[in-house]
Each structure stands twice: as C-alpha cells, then as structure tokens.
Amino acid sequence: MAFSASLSSLLILLCLFVSLFFCNALPAPHYHRRIATQNYRDALSKSILYFEGQRSGKLPPNQRLSWRRNSGLSDGSAMRVDLVGGYYDAGDNVKFGFPMAFTTTMLSWSVIEFGGLMKGELQNAREAIRWATDYLLKATVYPDTIYVQVGDANADHACWERPEDMDTPRSVFKVDKNTPGTEVAAETAAALAAASLVFRRSDPSYSRLLVTRAIRVFEFADKYRGSYSNGLRKDVCPFYCSFSGYEDELLWGAAWLHRATKNPSYLNYIQVNGQTLGADESDNTFGWDNKHVGARILLSKSFLVQKVESLRDYKGHADNFICSLIPGASFSQAQYTPGGLLYKMSDSNMQYVTSTSFLLLTYAKYLTSAHKFVTCGGIIITPKKLRTIAKKQVDYLLGENPLRMSYMVGYGTRYPERIHHRGSSLPSVAAHPAKIPCSSGFSVMNSAAPNPNILIGAVVGGPDLHDHFPDQRSDYEQSEPATYINAPLVGSLAYLAHSFGQL
C-alpha cells in the first residue's frame, strides 16, 4: 500500500510538472491585458536614434540628430587608406575597432532575433548596422590586415573638443601577420557574419560581400594568433585592452560563421576546439571583452532548435550562466543593488545589464521553441522567469529605480543632463561656428551646466552599487554613454514593445 501511495503521489506531481512546463514553453504571451509602466516603443526608437549621434564621417541628408556635423573626413589618409565613417565608441573622438565590431555584432543579433517585431524601426536599425559594416569593410579591405583604430587615444583624451573640431593626430593602427590581433580580428569576423544575416533578404549582394569578408577575416584571426593588446599596448591600453584573451572571440566568431554559412567546417572547428577555447569556463560576464557567455547561448540554439546533437553541452554551459544570475540558486554569483539592478563593476555597469537582459530574452526564446527549461540545483527556471528578470532590469534602466531616473537620455521626465560626452556638452557648430580649441573645452567639462545638445537615446554607465548617481560630467564611469551599452538593448526593447502591444 505504501508503494502504491508513493507511486500515485509521484504520478500526480509528474502531471502537475508537465502541465506547468508546457504552459511556460508556449510562445511568449502578449501582455496587452496588463498596462505597461514604460513606453518601450519610444525607448526603442530612441535607443536606435542614439547611433546617429555617434557617427563619424560625412553625414547623410536624412541625419536626424541635426546638431552633429561631418567629422573625420580624412581618416585613414595617414596610411593611404579610406577609413572615413564608422562610430565613435563613447564620449570621445576615437574610433576603436574592437568595441565597434562588438557593437555591430550585438546590433545585428538584436535584429536577427527580434527585428521581425520592430516594424517601422527595422529600417533604422539596419541603417545603424550598415554605418558600421561599411566601415568594417574598409578596415578589412587588404588580406591579412585589419585597421583597428583611428585616433591617438592619449592625445584625444587630453582634449575636450567637438568631433567637428578635431585637431589631435588621426593616427592609424593595424594588426597584420607581424603584429597579430586575434581578438579584434575574430570579433570583426563575427560582426560581418552576423550582419550578413541581417541583409540576407533586403540586400542579398551586400550580404554575400559581408559573409565572404567574414570568412577571410576569421581565417586570418585563427592563423596568426596573438593578442592585439601586446603588439599595440601603448595605443589600445588602458582603453580597450583585452583581458580575457582571444580564445573567447575565436569561439564566438566560429559560432557566428557556423550560423551564417551553415558550412560544416565551422561546426567541426567548434567541436574540435570548443573546450580549448573555453566553452565551459565559469566566466559569466558578457561584454565587449569577454564573449564566452554569448557564444554558449548562440550555440545552444543549434542544439535546442536545430537539434545538432554534438552541441548538446552548450545547453548545459548556457544553463550554468543562467544559474549564476538567480539569487539563492546553487552557483549563484550575481550581485544586485538594493533597488534590484544587476551589478558587475563600477565602470560602465549598465553595459552588463543590457547585454545580460538580451541574453535572457534570447535564451528564453530558444528554450520556448524547444519546450525546455533550466534547472538550478532543485529550482526550475522557466522561460517566463527569464523574461521577468530581463524586464525588471530594463524597467530599472528606464526609471523604475530608487531615484526615479531614466538612465536613457531623452526618455522620461528625468534623465542624466551632464553626460560625459564631448559633442553633447559643447555648443553645436550651428550655435557656435568658431572652432573650440583643445583645452578650452575643459571649462565646460568641469561645469555644472546641463549639456546643450541632447544625445537622445544614449544610455549612460549608470548608478553605483548603492543605486546612487551623481550626474557629473567628470564621472566617466557612471556618466559616459557607449555604443555597446545600447546595441543589445535594442533587441530587448523590441521584444518588450511587441509583448505589450506597443508595436
């Protein structure tokens, strides 16, 4: 009788579990019966518009942030190569190829996963990606060579001047066979491969050009191995040193080429080299430097959705990342502010908030498609739970926090007014046509006056561990926006705007 009763109880529990699981495995519900506390559609539009404020080069007739003007029109001339265009990475006037490539990869991934929900913003997102890929094609025009930086970063940071006034050296730095840069080369390959998927239907010939170049660039990255932080240390450090090594970028680049080409050679490369390249390491911070977590999530799709059995382990690797985020779960490593914001580090913490939120929503999508879930010790984490966590992070960013402040410039009624950004803080060319010399701008940088030019959509580094935010221009760790903060947020906002019936 005891055995029979136990069996009955077990069957009841199993039925309840199956019922719960399949409810959560259904496609993401629309939340239109609930009222959204945030205007995700407005935030989405602004998050994409921000990239127009970061443009370098000759601006197009349809430029919407009209306080910006042409800049860097002779970039590359020092090396007799055309390097006009691309993006300034943050609040300075240097074009750093490593974070620019990562920005491009994440903007592309946002569109690949959630572009179908973007409606009118899809074309704006494509244009933001193309502004970057046009530049990356120029930077990779010669075989076995990548131009990875334009501008002397030390000289640039000694000035506070508008990009339109730049008079600091526009030095050009490259990696090649003799000075390898595997991480920046592999990330550039990932960016080109991911972007090729974005343009596959809308511009097939451009898509083919991107993927062909991605293949060549990845071969160079893999064949000539070495960190660009060694060969170009005095030029790229401490700004964008690679601390995580280049193994993560090789795995990430191969994962994107596998997805873009379906060529079995990349699957074989991942199978043979995955462990060596750190597939199962417990580094759970995803950003411009370390791509391991992104590669795990990306490759988990091949197992979950495409049923590639040889990549089964990546589901486990991805689950370990999820478990690291869940308070109270075994292997939990995450730290949160009292107000509930994921906190990784003091410098530009919001980049980890936006990248993690995007991964949660993307992994939830893959799990839902495969009718799977995550188990953290004895805790079952459903796709719905992942979406809830991601939404809470995005909502905090948009104003649901102890300060009731939006950390996206131009969104909501209260947002940072003194962001660490040269072009935004100095008078525009239209308002002040005369040149503002290098050192003259520091009087503005150190003032308490609000920035005269609103860099709409810019997301700043964010509050500290205690939810404090001083809104001081000199505080670059908290007040500086960056392209790689915004790029993954685009995808998350598209998903949330659609879920709440705003798109």
Predicted confidence (pLDDT) per residue in 306-362, tens digit: 999 999 999 999 999 999 999 877 778 899 999 999 999 999 999 999 999 999 999
Average pLDDT value for residue range 224-243: 93
Q: Is 219 a catalytic residue?
A: no
Which tens digits make up the pLDDT trace of 453-502? 999 999 999 999 999 999 999 999 999 999 999 999 999 999 999 999 99
Q: What is the C-alpha separation between 198 and 211, in angstroms, rounded?
A: 11
Residue type, position 147, single letter: Y
Specify the pLDDT at position 327.
84
Specify the pLDDT at position 280.
87
Query: Does 19 have pLDDT greater than 70?
Result: no
Q: What is the C-alpha separation between 41 and 465, in angstroms, rounded?
A: 29
Q: What is the pTM of this model?
A: 0.93
Torsion region of 483: left, alpha or beta (phi above 0 gives left; psi -120 to 50 gives alpha): alpha
Given strand 172-176, what is the order of strands in its sheet? 95-96, 145-150, 172-176
Strands 145-150 and 374-376, how do they pair?
unpaired
Which tens digits make up the pLDDT trace of 377-430? 889 999 999 999 999 999 999 999 999 999 999 999 999 999 999 999 999 999
Of the CA atoms within 13 Å of residue 177, those in its CB half-sphere come to 3
Answer whether 217's CB lies under 8 Å from 139's CB.
Answer: no
For the chain, helix, strand, coil in percent to 5 are 50, 5, 45
Q: What is the C-alpha separation between 62 and 2, in angstroms, rounded?
A: 76
Of the CA atoms within 13 Å of residue 227, those in its CB half-sphere come to 15
Specify the pLDDT at position 153.
95
Catalytic residue of the set 317, 420, 421, 498: 420
Q: Is 471 a catalytic residue?
A: yes
Specify the pLDDT at position 378.
86
272 CB burial (10 A radius; 0-12, 13-18, 19+) = exposed
Between CA 489 and CA 375, with CA 343 as vertex, the angle to 5 degrees is 80
Instruction: Give the DSSP H/E element, type plus range, for residue 380.
Output: strand 379-381
Question: CA 316, 317, 321, 326: dihedral to nearest 10 degrees?
Answer: 20
In 3D, which of 317, 295, 284, 300 has the Cα closest to residue 368? 300
Catalytic residue of the set 42, 52, 165, 471: 471
Query: Does 30 have pLDDT greater than 70?
Result: no
Domain 35-499 matching CATH 1.10.101.10: the answer reads: no
pLDDT category of residue 32 using cuts at 50, 70 and 90: very low
Which tens digits make up the pLDDT trace of 284-319? 999 999 999 999 999 999 999 999 999 999 999 999
Answer whether 254's CB lies under 8 Å from 270's CB.
Answer: yes
Instruction: Give the DSSP H/E element, type plus range, for residue 173.
Output: strand 172-176
Catalytic residue of the set 75, 289, 480, 498: 480
DSSP 376: E
- Phi and psi at 227, nearest 5°, equal -85, 135
Q: What is the C-alpha separation between 347 and 277, in angstroms, rounded?
A: 27
- CA distance from start to end of the chain: 58
Structure tokens at 240: 């964008």
Specify the pLDDT at position 403.
98
* All residues at 6 or more sequence positions from 178 whose CB lies less than 8 Å from its CB, including other chains: none
Average pLDDT value for residue range 184-201: 98
- Phi and psi at 215, nearest 5°, equal -60, -45
Instruction: Give the DSSP H/E element, type plus range, for residue 174.
Output: strand 172-176
Bridge partner residues of 150 (DSSP): 95, 172
* All residues at 6 or more sequence positions from 492 whose CB lies less than 8 Å from its CB, including other chains: 110, 114, 354, 357, 358, 361, 390, 394
Q: Tell me what the pLDDT averaged over the chain comes to.
A: 92
Q: What is the C-alpha separation between 503 and 494, in angstroms, rounded?
A: 8
Measured from the Cβ of residue 345, the count of other Cβ atoms closer than 10 Å reads 14
454 CB burial (10 A radius; 0-12, 13-18, 19+) = middle
Between CA 239 and CA 246, with CA 243 as vertex, the angle to 5 degrees is 110
